[in-house]
Chain A
Amino acid sequence: MKIMVPVRRVPNPDVKVRLKKDGTGIETEGVNFLVNPFDEYAIEESVRLTEKAGGDVFLVTIGGPENEETLRAGLALGAHRAYLVTVPAPLDSAGVAQLLAAVYAQEKPDLVMAGKQSVDTDNNQAAQMMAGLLGIPQACFAYKVAVEGKTATVQREIDGGLETKEVALPAVITADLRLNQPRYASLPAIMKAKKKEVKKVTPADLGVSPVSRTRVLGLSAPPPRKAGQRVASVDELVEKLINEAKAL
């Protein structure tokens, strides 16, 4: 089975981002970039599927040359090869989806396994858009995935529980939190990843000119919460919740 895994480079989600003063973006100096955590779930699931049945897992990322590092980190988790689609400027989800669809058209994978959202922009759009552009089924927010012949049965995390959905392959699946526990890259795996193929292509090589359909006009800091207070006991807490906050 051949599986395509879109991957995104994101600033370390455990560190609070700093906004540029002019509101055009975030400060990137001194910021550590990682593979988007949900994409690691997608890589892990794909590697497990091919470990059982054999196959080929390839990563695709879109961006500048710095993304090669991100792809090597993903390859160290067990993917076999990677594409880096180099673009001069960032694209929105629609632009990303157009390029992913173009790679899909060249590679014709059996399955696309993506992370459910990237934790920087929090858009949660590109995988679904890609499925829509290609006219293939989708199963988002996967809790469990089982592939049998030309069908994937996916338990989806939905509000209030789980939905079980069957999709005909090829399809796009997105990984949610409980899908698996991604492995840590071992040192030999990191060494091996350095030798794996990272194919650099341009949108022109793929025969498309991607178009963003939205523009971020500016970023600003949200209004801060006003400072709170410490209480010394449960009695004081309850007294303040009743008389001061009027919340109980």
Chain B
Amino acid sequence: MSILVIAELREGDVRHATYPAVAAGKKLAALLGTDVDVVALGKGAKAAAERLKDFGPKTAWWSEAAGVADYTAEGHAAALAALVKEKGYTAVLAAATTTGKDLVPRLAALLDAGMVSDVIGFAKGDAGTEYVRPMYAGNAEARVAVDTPVHALTVRETAFDAAAPGGMAGAVAELAGVGEAAGAKVVGYQFTKSGRPELTEAKVIVSGGRGLKDAAGVKLVEELADLLGGAVGASRAVVDEGLVPNDLQVGQTGKIVAPDLYFAFGISGAIQHVAGMKAAKVIVAINKDEEAPIFEVADYGLVADLFKTVPQLIEKVKEVKAKA
């Protein structure tokens, strides 16, 4: 009755989101008095399993077989379903990244398993394991019970601290009998090359909204982000305008972030945006509309024209940095 955590690989490397997922798996295992295994599929999976074996699993499974070499929901869900059935795992989980969201529901269907998305916590209750997850753009937290022998989960990576290495090294084992990805193949990727941290990992995020107006506004946001070693975020309006790529969208249907410091420039604070950033430790809002709802969640609010004040802020931060 142990737990299987699905690692996520990108161009042969373990993606950061895997570590909070492993931590969540270990926490759930501790609650239930059981063990954790991990599984890595795709190019670089053997090296990934070698690395992940030091993070507490009993076994780190891997496969680089043709059917799972590139990530596809079809190939990976089929291989994982076979593993879960063979080994009798009672919970299978992955981080709620775009890959986890694509993969785990399909896997749940293959396993006839009930699924809980975006888990932020769990506890033992009258109904067995009760999972906590946000609903309604984060305006409600639901307790959810799963009625099937196998539980399928995605976990919100910002809700769990990344797992650290330690304890006994686990075994490393190759999966046998991995089949093809039926009816699907990946023909290419276009990754946005950026020296900035990923939104879900950044300590500082500088975000802009409709108030940025155009590329010059985006430049201001980027300048402050680079000065602070932070990530750039955006509200949906900015993505809709095509000013920044889609995966910089912070919000209910984009990235859920939890940095130490979050700047919101020219962002009105629509429910959908706030859902994605209200877990930030400190929120700073600059908006010329004093009625903007963003001020309801901001720790520090400045009612001002961002085109005047953000350049001042950039200069001021440069001064502070020069002194430090």
B-contacting residues of A (Cβ < 8 Å)? 11, 13-17, 19, 26, 38, 92-94, 97, 116-117, 119-133, 135-141, 143, 153, 156-168, 171, 176-178, 212-222, 225, 228-235, 237-238, 240-242, 245, 247-248
From A132, A143, A216, B109 is in contact (CB under 8 Å) with: A132
> Does B1 reach chain A (CB closer than 8 Å)?
no
Q: Are A214 and B145 in contact (CB under 8 A)?
A: yes
Interface residues of B in 265-304 (CB under 8 A from A): 270-272, 278, 281-284, 295, 297-303
Question: CA A178 – CA B244 in complex, angstroms?
Answer: 12
Report the 7 A-B pairs with minimum CB-CB distance, sorted nearest first: A132-B109, A213-B114, A128-B105, A161-B191, A132-B106, A168-B183, A125-B105
Q: Do the beta carbons of A214 and B116 come within 8 Å of each other?
A: yes
Give every chain A residue within 8 A of B106 (Cβ-Cβ).
128-129, 131-132, 138
**Which of A139, A230, A240 neighbours the largest number of chain B CB atoms within 10 Å of its CB?**
A230
Query: Judging by beta carbons under 8 Å apart, are B247 and A160 in contact?
Result: yes
CA distance A9 to B258 in the complex (A): 30
Question: Of B72, B108, B148, which contacts A129 at CB under 8 A?
Answer: B108
Closest to A38 in B: B253
- Assuming the contacts A123-B117, A159-B97, A177-B253, asked whether A164 and B313 have C-beta atoms less than 8 A apart, the reply is no
User: B297 contacts A225, CB within 8 Å?
Assistant: yes
Stretch at the interface among B55-63, B135-143, B161-169: B135-143
- Nearest chain B CB to A142's CB is how many angstroms away? 11
| B247 contact from A26, A161, A229, A242, Cβ within 8 A | A161
Specify which chain B residues have a CB less than 8 angstroms from the CB of A133 in the assembled complex: 109
* Chain A residues within an 8 Å CB radius of B186: 163-166
Q: Is the CB of A229 within 8 A of B140?
A: no
Q: Using known A-B contacts A122-B118, A138-B102, A140-B101, determine if residue A216 contacts B143 with beta carbons closer than 8 Å.
A: yes
Q: A94-B108, A177-B253 are in contact. Are A166 and B184 (CB under 8 A)?
A: yes
A116 to B254, CA, bound (A): 11
Task: Given contacts A132-B109, A162-B190, A234-B316, list 17 more A-B pairs with CB under 8 A.
Answer: A117-B253, A119-B137, A122-B134, A122-B135, A122-B253, A129-B115, A132-B77, A135-B182, A137-B184, A139-B184, A156-B98, A157-B98, A161-B247, A166-B187, A178-B239, A216-B142, A228-B283
How many residues of chain B are within 8 Å of chain A by beta carbon? 91
Kindly state the separation between the CA atoms of A136 and B182 in the bound complex, as whole angstroms.
8
Name the A residues within 8 Å of B110 (CB-CB). Answer: 132
Q: Are B73 and A138 neighbours in the complex by a CB distance under 8 Å?
A: yes
Whether the pair A13, B271 counts as a contact (CB closer than 8 A) is yes
Residues of A within 8 A of B214 (CB): none
With a CB–CB cut-off of 8 A, which chain B residues contact A163?
Answer: 186, 188-189
Least Cβ–Cβ distance between B273 and chain A, in angstroms? 11
